Amino acid sequence: MLLTQCKAPEAQQQSSAKVIATPAPEMLAVAKGVGIDVPNIDKSVKPCDDFYLYANGNWIKNNPVPATESIWSSFNEVAERNNAILRQLLNNAAATTNAEKGSNLQKVGDYFYSGMDSAGIETAGLAPLKPELDRLNAVKDLKGLQNMLATHQMHGFGPMFGSYVGQDDKISTQYALFVFQGGIGLPDRDYYLKDDKRSKEIRTAYLNYLRNMFTLLGDSEKQAVANANKVMAIETRLAKASKSRVELRDPYANYNKMTVAEFQKLMPNLNVKNWLTNMKLGAAKEVIVGQPAFFKELNAMLKSVPVADWKTYMRLRMVSSLASALPNAYAQENFNFFSKTLSGAKQMQPRWKRMARATDNALGEALGQLYVEKTFSPEAKAKALTMIKNLQAAFQEHVKTLDWMSEETKQKAMQKLDAFAVKIGYPDQWKDYSTFDVNRGPYVMNVLRARMFDYNDMASKLGKPVDRNEWHMSPPTVNAYYNPSMNEIVFPAGILQPPFFDPKADDAVNYGGMGAVIGHELTHGFDDQGRQYDHEGNLKDWWTKEDAERFAKHTEMVDKQYSAYQPLDSVFVNGQLTMGENIADIGGLNIAFTALQKANAGKTDPKYDGFTQNQRFFLAWAQNWRINATDQYLRQQVMTDPHSPGKFRCNGPLANMPQFYEAFGCKEGDKMVRKPEERIRIW
């Protein structure tokens, strides 16, 4: 998963490539302290035919996707347990009316309270947004539009294009200003461009969504239809000018540094200096432009598209991005399209769950402090750190024994591996929310203040030393990531929870679960994207030409294997889009297996529930990825997600591992066994 360094509007944004994350797999409910959920195993399936179904078949049969979800997996189960804890914490905070003003407890409690005040939200209606809507309505010309653009971008409405302040890819000690393609409402440009039946249906449904939102805003039926078509026309032009998700994976192609004057020459209709001043970025001397061709087209559109049409588009972007904070009619329309039509969910999640997620998004480290006190012990942190060190040692061993890499490149790979920074559980220094004013309503104003707080925090970094203590996930998050510019791996407390990571479970289970996640994130530093960054986090070629060519041959094999996977009829995995995650899955599992052998060298191998150590390791891995999903979700995942569907994340790496064959007695000709010349092992 790609994560921008600035928070984005809710469901509808393409992201810039900065942080590589993996949806967290998770350990199963502990069975007798062992960690493998034996009842989930379907013994009618031969493990050497389809190990995913063997390990998870009974769970798949017994756990249909809930009506409020589009996917149900081990990841969701851990998140549900964390949600129960967060709900208690948030209810207690909201009930504490005498909390010290300005304290984290007050801010967390009031934010959650205002979001839960559905009656107050209905009564307020659009009134809190009226000043902003009036300002937009008063715009008469391009100059006024330019001024509104900055305001809307700072508030996270997502019009026209995206921008953020983050580490310079080629000078990792400095912050830089990035601008990148964006401005569309659908999750990917291809939804606007493809002519298959599904894409056409989605465009029709999206037009209906746009029309309904304009109707809610008070437009007549005729005007709502006209306005919907205007928005679709603008977004379609933006989509046509946009790069594909596969093209966005090339960090060099998306690094185009210009002076402000050069960017002004590319975008004369933006008035770049005025835009920078309005964005509180007037000190910027350079801009890193992600996709120059996109901005060339946007510049032409600023001249050719009538200002009135841009105002219509920006009105929609504003209200759509805030739909979840507005009266239920807006939230329901947003759900009907983005969750129901696109992903297949049948019902909206309960309000408390949506508001818990929103509070975590707005005040993640304030809420995280409360969460960590309840859930994450020093003992768990120490055991996780030990596991990480063991995984790093195993990775070093793998690098030393590679038969396709020269000694020269190996030494630099080892240098990078030694330089990895590790963050576990929660930040050493918590974020200061003192400038973020939170009160008990209206809720939408808390949302806007949260976005402005985040924006100001980000914009203030320009010209300052890089903050290497910063986190891009909150402590309750059930996830993990690798950040190439920091050369760091990060594991929030939310993923380091039983039974996914259980200090009381045996090593085989923890290494097959959390160990493989750690190995996955380590491998991201050496996948087809991460390998292009050096040990200091700079985009810099440190490979010999011959080693780069040999690596490319390995990645061609990965592409071929995963592109053949078919989650639905006529729907295939995109091996190029999922390349980095597939490499990380294959490498992470191999590294975790080696680390387990090193950790248990010389020890006896007792069987639990009839399974050996190595069998438990592979079962833990497979049970990480159990999942049920709607067809709509799978179709959207294949188009937009850099991760392969769970079944292929499970079976794909296993099919390349002789250690797996040996553990379960698989032989040549079995479906899980690939031909020797087709087996992939990069790291």
State the catalytic residue, choosing from 132, 169, 506, 585: 585
Query: What gap in Å lies between CA 609 and CA 524, rounded to an integer?
Result: 34
Look at strands 488-492 and 479-483 and give their pairing.
antiparallel
DSSP structure class, residue 40: G
Each as own residue / partner, the long-range contacts of residues 540-546 (CB below 8 Å, 24 or more positions apart, any chain) are 540/170, 542/409, 542/412, 542/416, 543/409, 543/412, 544/406, 544/408, 544/409, 546/406
User: Rg of the Cα trace of the chain?
Assistant: 25
Strand segments, DSSP code E, in 236-383 are: 256-259, 286-289
Query: What gap in Å lies between CA 352 and CA 501, rounded to an integer?
Result: 27
Contact, 514 vs 596, CB < 8 A? Answer: no
Query: What gap in Å lies between CA 329 and CA 350, rounded to an integer?
Result: 15
What's the CA angle centered on 175, arms 169 and 181, to 5 degrees?
65
Instruction: Return the closest-CA partner of residue 104 out of 444, 427, 433, 477.
Output: 433
Each residue of 353-363: b (16+ CB within 10 Å) or e? Answer: bbbbbbbbbbb
Is 444 buried (19+), middle (13-18) or exposed (0-12) by CB count in 10 A? buried
- Report CA-CA distances (Å) from 322 to 357, 444, 473: 15, 7, 22
Contact, 154 vs 458, CB < 8 A? Answer: no
Instruction: DSSP for 528-543, please give it.
Output: TTGGGB-TTS-B---S
What are the helix (H) ranges across 157-306? 190-193, 197-216, 221-241, 260-266, 272-278, 292-304
Instruction: Return the closest-CA partner of residue 415 out of 396, 388, 402, 391.
Output: 396
Active site residue 585: yes
**Secondary structure (3-state) at 410:** helix
**Secondary structure (3-state) at 166:** strand
Instruction: DSSP for 478-501, please give it.
Output: SEEEEETTTTEEEEETTTS-TTTS
At 260, phi and psi to the nearest 5? -60, -40
**Secondary structure (3-state) at 405:** coil
State the catalytic residue, choosing from 77, 235, 333, 521: 521
By annotation, the residues acting in catalysis are: 521, 585
